[in-house]
Amino acid sequence: MIIVGEKINTSRKAIAEAVGKKDAAAIQAVARAQADAGAQYIDVNAGTFLEQEKVLLPWLVETVQEAVDAPLCLDSPAPEALKEAMAVHKGRPLINSISLEKDRYDALLPVVAENPCKVVALCMAQAAMPTTADERIAVGAELIEKLTSAGMALEDIFVDPLVQPVSVDVRMGPAVLAAIAGIAERFPGVGTICGLSNISFGLPARRLINRHFLGLALAHGLSAAICDPTDAELMSALAAVNMMLGRDEYCAEFIDAYEKGLFSKHA
């Protein structure tokens, strides 16, 4: 399971303030905490700054990569901001995200196809948001076909089935889980990725819901999650489920995490 640390996002007040003041130390502390907690990618999102994004996203890339030796998830639909950020990024970033919406697809395809990177392919088409698993798989399949035709490797594509809140419609839970399983089964080599927290939008006890959603998604084949790796209960859920799915020989990672004090005292 690849963990993408979600915390450096200007929709969060503390991050918006740090970015506004170009407070590199504050950003680097959040980056380091996520890497130390197990994030393999650090997400950076400066979307709330609108016009300034194409200056601030590359600033975030340089600032974060000064502090942590990890690739970043460049979280923007804006081609100019992505190009500037990719130009200063060390290693291969994960671009989040392309979709099947025509304007977005046309603008982003050259950006992802002409630069060494991995890409999140969001199951969103021109028309309405997908509701069923089959709709998600159909959009994912079309994106995979187009991206590979444009020269991308299967292994560099992470399909995001688009998590929608169960508070809106309880069928959204089974639909997204079946979409994860369907894409994993139909397209070996392709990754799947979710932002976890949208599942619990509008409900109480959101962290509880999110960590059990992570467990279910893992069991259905999810290969990457955009989440908060500093949430010890989330990470202990990941360790426990990973072990029960037979992916932790001799339970070594689980026991190691326990001994390092990762698990909360409520475990």
Among 21, 249, 260, 261, binds its own copies (CB under 8 A): 249
Q: Shortest approach of its own copies to residue 251 CB, angstroms?
A: 6
Closer residue to its own copies (CB): 76 or 200: 200
d(CA 220, CA 171): 16
With contact defined as beta carbons under 8 Å apart, do 215 and 193 qualify? no
Site string for its own copies, 178-197 (x = CB under 8 A): --------------------
Closest residue by Cα to residue 175 from 223, 226, 220: 220
Among 22, 90, 102, 171, binds its own copies (CB under 8 A): 171
Site string for its own copies, 118-157 (x = CB under 8 A): ----------------------------------------
Number of chain residues interacting with its own copies (CB under 8 A):
41
Q: Is 250 in the site for its own copies (CB under 8 A)?
A: yes
Closer residue to its own copies (CB): 67 or 244: 244
Give the footprint of its own copies on residues 194-233 (CB under 8 A).
199, 203-205, 207-209, 212-213, 215-216, 219-220, 233
Q: For residue 2, what is the DSSP state?
A: E
Q: Shortest approach of its own copies to residue 170 CB, angstroms?
A: 5
Q: Is 173 in the site for its own copies (CB under 8 A)?
A: yes
d(CA 194, CA 70): 20
Contacts of 28 (CB under 8 A, 6+ apart): 63, 64, 66, 67, 68
Q: Shortest approach of its own copies to residue 56 CB, angstroms?
A: 35
Its sign, for the CA torsion 90, 116, 114, 224, is negative
With contact defined as beta carbons under 8 Å apart, do 202 and 165 qualify? yes
Identify which range of 42-50, 57-65, 113-121, 248-256 contacts its own copies by CB under 8 A. 248-256
d(CA 42, CA 34): 7
Q: Is 246 in the site for its own copies (CB under 8 A)?
A: yes
Closer residue to its own copies (CB): 82 or 235: 235
Q: Where is 240: in which H helix or E strand? A: helix 232-244
Question: 74 phi and psi, to 5 degrees?
Answer: -90, 110
DSSP-assigned letters across all residues of 101-156? SHHHHHHHHHHHHSSS-EEEEE---SSSPP-SHHHHHHHHHHHHHHHHHTT--GGG
Closest residue by Cα to residue 228 from 43, 27, 14: 43
**Residue-level length of the chain:** 267
Q: Shortest approach of its own copies to residue 3 CB, angstroms?
A: 17
Closer residue to its own copies (CB): 87 or 245: 245
Applying CB under 8 A, the residues found at the interface with its own copies are 166-167, 170-171, 173-174, 177, 199, 203-205, 207-209, 212-213, 215-216, 219-220, 233, 236-237, 240-241, 243-251, 254-255, 258, 263-264, 266-267
